[in-house]
Amino acid sequence: SKGVFDFTKERKKIISNKTKSQPAKVGIPAALHLVDELDLWIDFFERLGVSVTTSMDCPDPVATGKRLAQAEFCAPMAAFHGHVSYLIDKCEYIFAPFYLEKDAPQDRRRQYCYYTQFAPALGSLVPGANEKLLSPVLNYEIQPLQSRVALFNACKKMGIDANYLEVMMAFEQAIASHKEKSKKLIKVGSQFIKMHNGMAVVLLGRPYNVLPESMNKSIPSIFVNLGIPVLYQDMIDYTKDDVEEIEDLLTAFHWHYASKIIEAAHVISKKDGLYPVLVTSFKCAPDSFVMEYFKRIMDKAGKPYLILQLDEHDSTVGYETRIEAAIRSFKNHYGSLPAPNHHVRVVPKITRDSLAGKTVLLPNWDMMAARLLRANLQREGIDAHILYEDDALIAKGTRTNTGQCIPLNIVAYEYIDYVEKHGLNPANTILWMADSEIACNIRMYPYFAKSIFDSYGKGFENTKVFVGDITFKEVSVKAAIYTYFAFMFSGLLRRVGCRYRPYEYIAGSTDKAIEQTMHEFEMAFKDEIEWSEALSNMVKRFSAIKIKRTNRPKVAIFGDLYVRDNDVMNQNLIAFIEKHGGEVITTPYNYYAKMIASPYFKK
């Protein structure tokens, strides 16, 4: 409708991502993390006198990408493949840098999602892309020197005639210009909100879902055509004080875009006349956590909202129907302004206090490791137990999953099941979960598990979720040392068992030796017998197993830590492989630690 505020038009007045005609020296995929910095990189290359193009005109990137991608990804990841493919015959080089994280306060991190972090590597698998793709690691806010050197080296590979100082000057000027444009967007948004007398909608979501016309299903236009002004979240002005109320939640969230969505949602929840519409895509695990807390924020404010999950198969008509219904809800609320619901708890309360005096339940992702961890804690005087897992509990957990990692729901419902079956008092019981700083969803597990318990009720709102280090260093130094041994010995014992079992003369002799050894390892972890005795007996047992070596194919198992050593979750994969003539090679945790240690120390 004419005269209705439309952020897409206002944005184009401030940020122009138009480029000169193709072919060009450099092509930039208009996808994922590059969408909201597209103007920065166009500006950068043009300052160096380099012809540049983008894939903004790629006609159907999701459909194209789905044909090219070698796995089932979310729509934005599929689109990235399509954008890379589109550029192959339109430029000499494709510039798709690795983005790991943004700068953040000291007590938190702001990482890009794990798919985004390795997207350029997947893009290189697109036919014809590998020889053209240049992907420097650009953590330019956190590692400024390393990132600038990497950028300069990429420019050299492209044959750009500029020295280091010229490249850095262009980069700094492009960053400054980009920041200035961001300020202008906020100014335009603030002026509109100040002058507008009525209701408006703010679209929340990742830039690559909301901004590109090839992704947003014309959602901004639908609102405008219905006479509703529409803004995007980066046009909302707020300060650190405005989001102080949700500081705990912002500390829990370690993703860049997710944090921005949550911050904007909280600010909008306090502003009369502004109504949020969260735009996300199916198969986005980080956004499945965002949706939970977005709903809580709005429910506490007593404000209606709309969540639109994009699906490449959906038609615009389907979105129009839901948007029309949401607008009616927004108008009804705007006319009545009901009181907020102060009883809704936005941030689930987790604990980092002592485990002493409580019954502690450990997730069961690897029964061998879990048994030794349990013995380790029991030696420290902690009443530790292992959650029971079976197919029925896995099925029950997955039924409540709304896009999160499946193990999270499984662990939560195994905890409920264990407490109820053993007649435990939820208030005196603790679910132990590991803390994490990596870009996957593990960091959110404790908070979401507590949300499940709060919703379940029946006293479970009083249960505690403990967030601890995977080494149990908060328990004691000895506990931390023994934890390393727990993972090492359990992993090596599993590996040795796989080396013997396929070739044993007497079926079951290897499993018997493993169980006897595990029993003695548990005793050693409780300081009931000497380590030397347990290890010596293990060697004797396995030496006594009669075997006949044959030529079997070796099958390595690797992947998700919750699944690979979990005989229930992986449906007895080792037994299946051995039954069909293979020999399994597993990866003990100490091997895995050595593999990843070097990159982490370099960081």
Last residue of a domain, one of 475, 492, 527: 475
What is the Rg, in whole angstroms, of the alpha carbon atoms belonging to the chain?
27
**Residues 427, 462 contacting (CB under 8 angstroms):** yes
Which pLDDT belongs to residue 582? 96
- Whether 26 maps to a domain, the answer reads yes
Q: How far apart, in whole angstroms, are the C-alpha atoms of residue 548 and residue 117?
A: 47
The strand pair at 274-281 and 133-134 is best described as unpaired
Residue 136 has pLDDT above 70, yes or no: yes
Q: What is the mean pLDDT of residues 299-311?
A: 90
Which pLDDT belongs to residue 439? 58
Of 62-76, 279-293, 336-350, 412-426, which one has max mean pLDDT?
A: 412-426
pTM here is: 0.86
Judge if 119 and 167 occupy the same domain: yes
Residue 211 has pLDDT above 90, yes or no: yes
Which pLDDT belongs to residue 335? 79
Run of H or E residues at 24: strand 24-28
Buried b or exposed e, range 62-97, using 16+ CB within 10 angstroms: bebbbebbeeebbbbbbbbbbbbbbbbeebebbbbb
- Whether 9 maps to a domain, the answer reads no
Residue 459 has pLDDT above 90, yes or no: yes
Judge if 71 and 146 occupy the same domain: yes
Least confident piece of the model among 183-187, 223-227, 541-545, 591-595: 591-595
pLDDT category at 64 given cuts 50, 70, 90 is very high
Last residue of a domain, one of 278, 303, 336: 336
CA distances from 367 to 222, 370, 509, 568 (A): 53, 5, 19, 10
**Residues 428, 358 contacting (CB under 8 angstroms):** yes
**Residues 553, 357 contacting (CB under 8 angstroms):** no
Judge if 254 and 207 occupy the same domain: yes
Which pLDDT belongs to residue 27? 93
Q: What is the mean pLDDT of residues 12-33?
A: 86
| Phi/psi-derived region of residue 353, left when phi > 0, alpha when psi is between -120 and 50, beta in every other case | beta
Judge if 376 and 521 occupy the same domain: no
Q: What is the mean pLDDT of residues 354-374?
A: 93
Residue 19 has pLDDT above 90, yes or no: no
Q: Is 156 helix (H, G, I), strand (E, B) or coil?
A: helix
- Whether 555 maps to a domain, the answer reads yes
Q: How far apart, in whole angstroms, are the C-alpha atoms of residue 205 and residue 228?
A: 18
Buried b or exposed e, range 465-500, using 16+ CB within 10 angstroms: bbbbeebbebbeeebbebbebbbbbbbbbbebbbbb
Q: Which amino acid is at 112?
A: Y
- Whether 349 maps to a domain, the answer reads no
Count CB neighbours of 594 within 10 A: 10
Q: How far apart, in whole angstroms, are the C-alpha atoms of residue 113 and residue 283?
A: 13
Judge if 487 and 434 occupy the same domain: no
Judge if 471 and 509 occupy the same domain: no
pLDDT digits (tens, 9 = 90+) for 467-519: 888 899 999 999 999 999 999 999 999 999 999 999 999 999 999 999 999 99
Of 431, 405, 54, 406, nearest to 211 (Cα)? Answer: 54
Which pLDDT belongs to residue 247? 86
Judge if 453 and 492 occupy the same domain: no
Give the residue numbers spanning the domain of 525: 478-602
Q: How many domains, the chain?
A: 4
- Whether 344 maps to a domain, the answer reads no
Run of H or E residues at 52: strand 52-54
Judge if 123 and 246 occupy the same domain: no
Which pLDDT belongs to residue 71? 81
Judge if 223 and 330 occupy the same domain: yes
Q: How far apart, in whole angstroms, are the C-alpha atoms of residue 97 and residue 35?
A: 12
- Whether 452 maps to a domain, the answer reads yes
Run of H or E residues at 9: helix 7-14
pLDDT digits (tens, 9 = 90+) for 98-135: 988 887 766 677 888 888 888 999 999 999 988 999 99
Q: How far apart, in whole angstroms, are the C-alpha atoms of residue 160 and residue 495?
A: 52
pLDDT category at 16 given cuts 50, 70, 90 is confident
Which pLDDT belongs to residue 455? 86
Run of H or E residues at 326: helix 316-336
Judge if 45 and 158 occupy the same domain: yes
pLDDT category at 357 given cuts 50, 70, 90 is confident
pLDDT digits (tens, 9 = 90+) for 382-420: 999 999 999 998 888 888 777 777 888 899 999 999 999
Domain holding 431: CATH number?
Answer: 3.40.50
Last residue of a domain, one of 124, 156, 179: 179
Q: What is the mean pLDDT of residues 214-228?
A: 92
- Whether 93 maps to a domain, the answer reads yes
Q: How far apart, in whole angstroms, are the C-alpha atoms of residue 314 and residue 325?
A: 17
- Whether 3 maps to a domain, the answer reads no
Please give the backbone phi and psi of residue 279, each rounded to the nearest 5 degrees, phi first: -105, 120
Judge if 104 and 27 occupy the same domain: yes
Judge if 282 and 424 occupy the same domain: no
Cβ neighbourhood burial of 550 (10 Å; 0-12, 13-18, 19+): exposed
Which pLDDT belongs to residue 338? 67
Kindly report the average pLDDT of the chain as a whole number.
89
pLDDT digits (tens, 9 = 90+) for 534-568: 999 999 999 999 999 999 999 999 888 888 899 99
CA distances from 268 to 231, 239, 273, 274 (A): 11, 13, 9, 6
Q: What is the mean pLDDT of residues 417-444?
A: 87
Which pLDDT belongs to residue 345? 67
Q: What is the mean pLDDT of residues 143-155?
A: 88
